[in-house]
Amino acid sequence: MLDGLSGKQKTLPCKYLYDETGSRLFERICELDDYYLTRTEAAIFAEHIADMAEYIGPQALIVEPGAGNCEKVEPLLEKLAAPRGYFPIDISPEILLAAQSRINARLPDLEVRASVGDFTQADAWQPLGDLPAHRKVVFFPGSTIGNFVPLQAEALLELFASNLDCGDGLLIGTDLVKDSVVLERAYCDSEHVTEEFNKNILARINTELSADFELSHFAHRAFYHPLRQRVEMHLVSLTKQCVNLAGTRLDFAEGETIHTENSHKYTLDGFSDLLRRTGFTPIKYWTDRKQHYAIHFAQAR
């Protein structure tokens, strides 16, 4: 936290938005009318899930980094032919373990082995080596890849590929470049849930690290940066102020921001090129009729 808040542009890693409270708030965001991503992705899955299951094939082990509440994977697991198991990874143990219990009750014949950890780190993947499977497929929906800047996205996809064998699969969702009004409304919703979600990281720092952020002195801001093809989320200091964190004084000027999250948007061709650079061969993609969102299937080389 101190490293990020001591720079010229103050930043906080977006993964820390997702404690139990943050994860619950994000579930609420996904249900909002303004947030088109979840329902658009769900509609693509509903229309094409049988086709996706055919590409994945029988006896697959589904690996889901950043699984959260695991709700998106359940229809896929039910559609697959004799899946060998499910391996979810998530940084939030409360959400993950509750989801594991739910899936065990719903699909009692499916082996579920959860890993609590940061899926961007190799050690969270180590238990995967103990799970035999005819084929491994990484399932990465929700346009989570968009939270990573380009070099980080490449490194993450390379990490995925390093845990797969030749012919294994990747089923991944990406949000697509579109009108900025649609994008900004999704990240600055009329019900202010995203604002609460963004500020929760400050509440978490106060609780866990004994800082003294005054949440009412910060405002949520989200905007689309067309040259970088991303929505940026910030917390804006509404006044000149200082905050104490672990014995360190942090000064904020009025209008200064903390950059908390990116959500990169892709073109279909641009993401296919990214897959090729990181050890995958693009095989197929599915989109909605407006081409707001895409789900890609690729094979590890």
What local confidence, expressed as pLDDT, does residue 44 receive?
98
What local confidence, expressed as pLDDT, does residue 68 receive?
85
What local confidence, expressed as pLDDT, does residue 209 receive?
96
What local confidence, expressed as pLDDT, does residue 100 receive?
87
Task: Kindly give the parts of the chain with pLDDT less than 50.
Answer: none
**Which CATH number describes the domain made up of 36-178+266-300?**
3.40.50.150
- Gap between the Cα atoms of 292 and 76, Å rounded: 22
Local structure of residue 9 (DSSP, 8 states): S
Strand locations in the chain, DSSP E?
10-11, 60-65, 85-90, 115-116, 135-140, 169-175, 218-225, 230-237, 241-245, 248-252, 257-264, 280-287, 293-300
What local confidence, expressed as pLDDT, does residue 132 receive?
74
What local confidence, expressed as pLDDT, does residue 35 receive?
96
**Rg (Cα) of the chain, in Å, rounded?**
20
Query: Which pair of tokens denotes residue 213?
Result: 């952020």
Query: Which pair of tokens denotes residue 97?
Result: 């373990």
What residue segments make up the domains of the chain, in order of their start?
2-20+180-264, 36-178+266-300
Helix (H/G/I), strand (E/B), else coil: 249: strand
What local confidence, expressed as pLDDT, does residue 219 receive?
98
What local confidence, expressed as pLDDT, does residue 97 receive?
85
pLDDT in tens, 137-185: 999 999 999 999 999 999 999 999 999 999 999 999 999 999 999 999 9
pLDDT in tens, 71-111: 999 999 999 998 989 999 998 888 888 888 899 888 998 99
3-state helix vs strand vs coil in the chain, percent to 5: 40, 25, 30
What local confidence, expressed as pLDDT, does residue 93 receive?
87
Local structure of residue 56 (DSSP, 8 states): H
Token pair 């708030």 in the structure block, residue: 25
Cα dihedral 68, 49, 138, 230 sign: negative
